[in-house]
């Protein structure tokens, strides 16, 4: 067995608290993130780190099932690994794209450690020392322990954004919407733009709007400093149609997450900015390939956040460092976290940006005590249903949605309930 072959894979689910529960168009993050931390160990004892989400659930068993596929695979043979576990036809039966991503992160980490270079040096070399981030603002329930942190009204949203800007220096603000009626969210978005003259803004209702609502919203913000409308409606045909009515660039992290969809967008020109997610695309390297296609075809790119602890954040920073055509601030949920599992605690924002790690590999290390502690918290609390809202038992959205949360009601839902059984929707 070569010293650089994979000898073992360990996966540990952890729960890390959020400052407050985050609402989105499909449900909520129930006051915490559940992430699976992956460690890949080579025959000669190097350990690389990976991370994956999973909609509020533990993914450890899925990684355990990959053991027979990966034991003996050389960490330097990443292109072969893609076919070993993500053959496109086999993937119709067993989609391992996100698992592949976490293993790829760990293999790149090991390659960097063995060669004594940071991951960005393996990916073409960094073009920037820091990556700028947007503030990524959410409507939120109050933290049930402290009673603080609710974001429901325009005034609360502006206050939250002002605090985040003061603390982290954000100059770009993203409003996660699709929760309250579009007219309320329009009022909130315009309040942000009025509060921060000179900053830039973006709105992401996760495809919850009808075409008519999206046209109204887009026309209602056309005079502001918008980066783009992110997934205002579902699907490339509707996004293309929206562009006929609204003179604002469109973006997606949802309907272009593979190369077939990217090819379709090259033909359709429905989306102007593709938000690259190192997990959704199956790793850092597929994101770089996709960015190259976008560069060739005149499509913008940015870095997407599907929720992250420091390991995943490191992958986003190394990606952002090497993309020549990165034209927008990246997204991160990171500042909503109360803590992290990496040595040194949470990475710091300065002037709205985070420094690209320059240590070997991903440039971060696991804090074993934190890992153990947050694994215990996972065992205590269990998973949470990402696609359910604890404040609206039984509710789930149609696409487009028409059943919005009530912005007049301040709710304090019970977050401890592990599961909700959704009744059948009445017709
Ligand atoms: Mg999005």
Tokens 């997606």 — which residue?
Answer: 252
pLDDT tens-digit map of 2-51: 889 999 999 999 999 999 999 999 999 999 999 999 999 999 999 999 99
Please check whether residue 22 is in contact with residue 32, taking contact to mean a CB–CB distance below 8 angstroms. Answer: no
CA of 151 to the centre of ligand 1 (A): 19
* Residue 318 among the catalytic residues: no
Judge if 86 and 72 occupy the same domain. Answer: yes
CA of 251 to the centre of ligand 1 (A): 8
Judge if 107 and 127 occupy the same domain. Answer: no
Catalytic residue among 126, 168, 304, 370: 304
Among 380, 405, 422, the domain boundary falls at 380
For the packed helices 182-195 and 211-221, what is the interaxial angle rounded to 10 degrees? Answer: 20
CA of 47 to the centre of ligand 1 (A): 32
Residue 287 has a CB neighbour count (10 Å cut-off) of 29
User: Can you name the residues that pair with 342 across neighbouring β-strands?
Assistant: 366
Residue 359 confidence (pLDDT) above 80: yes
Going by C-alpha positions, the residue among 144, 225, 155, 224 that lies closest to residue 184 is 155
CA of 253 to the centre of ligand 1 (A): 5
CA of 347 to the centre of ligand 1 (A): 23
* Residue 348 among the catalytic residues: no
Cis peptide leading into residue 400 (ω within 30°): yes
Residue 279 lies in a domain: yes
Please check whether residue 29 is in contact with residue 386, taking contact to mean a CB–CB distance below 8 angstroms. Answer: yes
Owning domain of residue 13: 6-117+371-380
Residue 422 confidence (pLDDT) above 70: no
CATH code of the domain in which 258 resides: 3.20.20.120
Among 363, 390, 410, the domain boundary falls at 363
- Mean pLDDT check: name the lowest of 80-84, 105-109, 152-156, 423-427: 423-427
The rounded distance, in Å, linking the Cα atoms of 310 and 334 is: 8
Judge if 332 and 204 occupy the same domain. Answer: yes
The rounded distance, in Å, linking the Cα atoms of 315 and 425 is: 40
Among 307, 338, 363, the domain boundary falls at 363
pLDDT tens-digit map of 160-189: 999 999 999 999 999 999 999 999 999 999
pLDDT tens-digit map of 217-274: 999 999 999 999 999 999 999 999 999 999 999 999 999 999 999 999 999 999 999 9
pLDDT tens-digit map of 302-344: 999 999 999 999 999 999 999 999 999 999 999 999 999 999 9
The rounded distance, in Å, linking the Cα atoms of 9 and 27 is: 32
CA of 129 to the centre of ligand 1 (A): 25
- pLDDT, residue 417, reads 56
Residue 91 has what DSSP assignment? G
Residue 16 lies in a domain: yes
CATH code of the domain in which 69 resides: 3.30.390.10
The rounded distance, in Å, linking the Cα atoms of 57 and 60 is: 9
Judge if 187 and 258 occupy the same domain. Answer: yes
CA of 40 to the centre of ligand 1 (A): 30
Residue 423 lies in a domain: no
The rounded distance, in Å, linking the Cα atoms of 144 and 414 is: 8
CA of 126 to the centre of ligand 1 (A): 26
The rounded distance, in Å, linking the Cα atoms of 43 and 382 is: 33
Which ranges in 142-299 belong to alpha helices (H)? 154-168, 182-195, 211-221, 236-243, 259-268, 284-297
- pLDDT, residue 130, reads 98
Instruction: Tell me the percentage of the chain whose pLDDT exceeds 70.
Output: 97
The rounded distance, in Å, linking the Cα atoms of 83 and 235 is: 28
Q: What is the band of 418 on the pLDDT scale with cuts at 50, 70, 90? A: low
CA distances from 37 to 103, 306, 353, 402 (A): 10, 15, 25, 37
- pLDDT, residue 218, reads 98
DSSP class per residue in 100-124: HHHHHHHHHHHHHHHHTSBHHHHTT
Residues contacting residue 373 through CB under 8 Å, at least 6 positions apart: none
Q: What is the band of 415 on the pLDDT scale with cuts at 50, 70, 90? A: confident
Catalytic residue among 176, 243, 318, 336: 176
Please check whether residue 384 is in contact with residue 32, taking contact to mean a CB–CB distance below 8 angstroms. Answer: yes
Residue 391 lies in a domain: no
pTM for the model stands at 0.96
The rounded distance, in Å, linking the Cα atoms of 178 and 233 is: 10
Structural domain total, the chain: 2
Residue 352 has a CB neighbour count (10 Å cut-off) of 20
Tell me how long the chain is: 427
Q: What is the band of 421 on the pLDDT scale with cuts at 50, 70, 90? A: very low
């Amino acid at each position: 067995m070569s010293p650089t072959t994979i000898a073992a894979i360990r996966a540990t689910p952890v729960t890390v608290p959020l400052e407050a529960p985050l609402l989105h168009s499909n449900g909520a993050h129930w006051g915490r993130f559940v992430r699976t931390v992956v460690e890949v160990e080579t025959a000669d004892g190097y350990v690389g780190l990976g991370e994956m989400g999973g909609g509020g659930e533990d993914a450890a068993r899925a990684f355990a099932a990959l053991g027979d596929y990966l034991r003996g695979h050389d960490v330097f043979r990443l292109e072969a690994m893609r076919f070993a576990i993500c053959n496109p036809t086999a993937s119709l039966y067993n989609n391992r794209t996100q698992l592949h991503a976490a293993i790829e992160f760990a293999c790149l980490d090991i390659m960097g450690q063995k060669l004594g270079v940071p991951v960005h040096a393996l990916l073409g070399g960094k073009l920037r020392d820091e990556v700028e981030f947007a503030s990524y603002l959410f409507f939120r329930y109050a933290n049930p322990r402290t009673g603080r942190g609710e974001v429901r009204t325009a005034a609360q949203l502006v206050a939250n954004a002002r605090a985040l800007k003061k603390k982290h220096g954000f100059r770009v603000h993203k409003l996660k919407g699709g929760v309250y009626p579009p007219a309320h969210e329009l009022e909130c978005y315009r309040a942000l733009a009025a509060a921060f003259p000179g900053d830039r803004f973006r709105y992401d209702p996760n495809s919850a709007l009808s075409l008519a609502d999206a046209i109204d919203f887009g026309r209602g913000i056309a005079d502001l400093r918008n980066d783009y409308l992110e997934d205002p409606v579902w699907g490339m045909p509707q996004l293309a149609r929206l562009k006929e009515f609204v003179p604002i660039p469109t973006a997606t992290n949802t309907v272009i997450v593979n190369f077939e969809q990217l090819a379709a967008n090259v033909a359709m020109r429905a989306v102007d900015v593709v938000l690259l997610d190192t997990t959704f695309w199956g790793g850092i390297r597929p994101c770089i390939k996709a960015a190259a296609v976008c560069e060739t075809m005149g499509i913008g790119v940015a870095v997407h956040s599907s929720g992250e602890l420091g390991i995943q954040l490191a992958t986003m920073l190394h990606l952002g460092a090497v993309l020549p055509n990165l034209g927008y601030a990246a997204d991160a949920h990171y500042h909503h976290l109360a803590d992290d599992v990496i040595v040194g605690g949470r990475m710091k924002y300065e002037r709205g940006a985070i420094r690209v790690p320059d240590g070997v590999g991903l440039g971060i290390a696991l804090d074993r005590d934190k890992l153990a502690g947050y694994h215990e918290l996972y065992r205590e609390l269990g998973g949470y249903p990402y696609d359910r809202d604890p404040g609206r038992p039984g509710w789930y959205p149609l696409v487009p949605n028409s059943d919005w949360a009530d912005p007049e009601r301040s709710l304090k839902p019970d977050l401890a309930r592990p599961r909700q059984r959704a009744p059948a929707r009445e017709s």
